[in-house]
Amino acid sequence: MTSTTVHLAVYDTFADWETGHITAHLTQNGFTVRTVGPTTEPVTTMGGLRIQPDLALDELDPADSRMLILAGAHLWDTGDDLAPFAAKARAFLDAAVPVAAICGATAGIAREGLLDDRAHTSAVPFYLDATGYKGGEHYRDADAVTDGDLITAGPTEPVAFAREVFARLGVYEGEKLDAWYRLFRDSDASAYEILSS
Active-site residue flag, 103: yes
**Spatial separation of the C-alpha atoms in residues 92 and 60, rounded to whole Å:** 10
- Closest-CA residue to 149 (of 172, 178, 122, 118): 118
Q: Which of 103, 145, 153, 171 is catalytic?
A: 103
**Spatial separation of the C-alpha atoms in residues 95 and 118, rounded to whole Å:** 16
CB 124 within 8 A of CB 103: no
Burial 104-128 (b: 16+ CB within 10 A, else e): bbbbbbbbbebbeebbbbbbeeebb
Report, as residue numbers or ranges, the catalytic residues: 103
